[in-house]
């Protein structure tokens, strides 16, 4: 009997472009626990319904936030991006990024991390539509949706299923993925642990998992398990990382144009 194949999709940076949502939550938490007198956005109070208008006056700060997004491993790292912007620092590698992280007191980062998820949960509860507008799907959502209808699909995310399950509905992403198939931060934020969980939960070998993420370091770690890995080139990865995937025998580069055809072929879906 043939074992089932599973398509595992990252969420932020793969299915949705959540960078503006992350900026909102990060900024609100940063003002509270890292620097109450921050110069970022002139320390103006963030409001979910008018946040896009507010940040439109600070394009260089927004671009820097986007530029360093690919370094993110967990929510506390967003504080590092804002610290870098605040102090006009230059970062050219993960090593440099995480050395800067050590400059922020650990006790403040712990408070920030807790606040980050509290702010997000409060927004989702109080104004889901406004939150969803900061979390739009990437243009290739139709192709991803088509794949989910033809293949067993799970989401493997460092986000919380309680936060994102509402976006699965027809009104928003229209993805037919049940809540039980969202592998989230409550399992682990480590994608290697998540892949092991998927293997055990669905009783399949690692090489029957096809994992798509925009974070190259996640993919390289997961590849050690013999999982099939794909870099979502439309996400927050850098051109250097995309170039690595183009030349790599271990990582397949996906684009918004080829994502459906490549995965359809690799998953051996019938025409």
pLDDT digits (tens, 9 = 90+) for 109-154: 999 999 999 999 999 999 999 999 999 999 999 999 999 999 999 9
| 23 and 91, same domain (yes or no) | yes
Instruction: Report the CATH number at residue 223.
Output: 3.40.50.1000
In the chain, how many domains are there?
2
Is residue 1, in this structure, part of any structural domain at all? no
Please check whether residue 251 is in contact with residue 245, taking contact to mean a CB–CB distance below 8 angstroms.
yes
Q: Which of 1, 16, 5, 6 is nearest to 236 (CA)?
A: 16
E-strand stretches of the chain = 6-9, 153-156, 182-183, 209-213, 228-232, 251-254
Nearest of 173, 204, 201 to residue 188 by alpha carbon: 201
Instruction: List own/partner pairs for 92-100 with CB under 8 A and 24 or more apart.
Output: 94/217, 97/68, 97/71, 98/71
Contacts of 157 (CB under 8 A, 6+ apart): 10, 11, 12, 164, 182, 183, 184, 185
Task: Report the pLDDT value the prediction gives residue 1, as an integer from 0 to 100.
Answer: 45
Residues 6 or more apart whose CB falls under 8 angstroms from that of 13 comprise 69, 213, 214, 215, 232, 235, 236, 237
Same domain for 165 and 84? no
Asked whether residue 44 falls in the same domain as residue 71, the answer is yes
Q: Is residue 97 part of a domain?
A: yes
Tell me which residue range forms the domain holding 198. 6-17+136-266
pLDDT for residue 271:
59
User: By three-state DSSP, how is residue 247 classified?
Assistant: helix
pLDDT at residue 212, rounded to an integer: 98
* Dihedrals phi, psi of 73, to nearest 5 degrees: -110, -40
Q: Which residue has tokens 């460092």?
A: 158
CA distance 82 to 62: 10
User: What's the whole-model pTM score?
Assistant: 0.90
What averages of pLDDT result for each successive group of 10 residues across the chain (271 residues)?
Answer: 85 96 96 95 96 97 95 93 96 94 96 94 93 96 96 95 92 94 95 98 97 96 98 96 97 98 93 59
pLDDT at site 73: 87
**70 and 172 together in one domain:** no
Q: What is the DSSP letter of 12?
A: B
Same domain, 190 and 217: yes
């Amino acid at each position: 009997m043939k074992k089932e194949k599973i398509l595992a999709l990252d969420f932020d940076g793969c299915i949705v472009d959540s960078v503006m949502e992350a900026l909102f939550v990060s900024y609100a938490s940063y003002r509270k626990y890292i620097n109450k007198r921050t110069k970022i956005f002139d320390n103006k109070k963030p409001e979910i319904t008018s946040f896009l208008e507010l940040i439109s006056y600070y394009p260089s700060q927004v671009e820097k936030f986007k530029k360093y997004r690919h370094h993110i491993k967990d929510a506390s790292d967003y504080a590092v991006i804002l610290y870098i912007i605040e102090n006009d620092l230059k970062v050219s590698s993960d090593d440099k990024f995480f050395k800067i992280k050590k400059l922020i007191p650990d006790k403040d980062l712990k408070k920030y991390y807790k606040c980050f998820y509290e702010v997000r949960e409060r927004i989702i509860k109080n104004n889901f539509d406004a939150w969803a507008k900061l979390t739009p799907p990437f243009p290739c959502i139709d192709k991803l949706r088509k794949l989910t209808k033809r293949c067993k699909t799970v989401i493997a995310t460092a986000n919380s299923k309680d936060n994102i399950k509402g976006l699965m509905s027809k009104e928003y992403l229209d993805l037919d993925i049940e809540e039980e198939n969202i592998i989230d931060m409550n399992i682990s934020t480590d994608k290697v642990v998540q892949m092991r969980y998927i293997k055990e939960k669905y009783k399949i070998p690692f090489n029957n998992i096809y994992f798509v993420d925009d974070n190259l370091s996640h993919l390289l770690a997961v590849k050690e398990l013999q999982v099939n890995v794909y870099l979502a080139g439309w996400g927050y990865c850098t051109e250097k990382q995309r170039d690595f995937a183009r030349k790599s025998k271990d990582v397949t580069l996906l684009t918004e144009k080829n994502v459906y055809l490549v995965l359809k072929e690799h998953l051996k879906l019938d025409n």
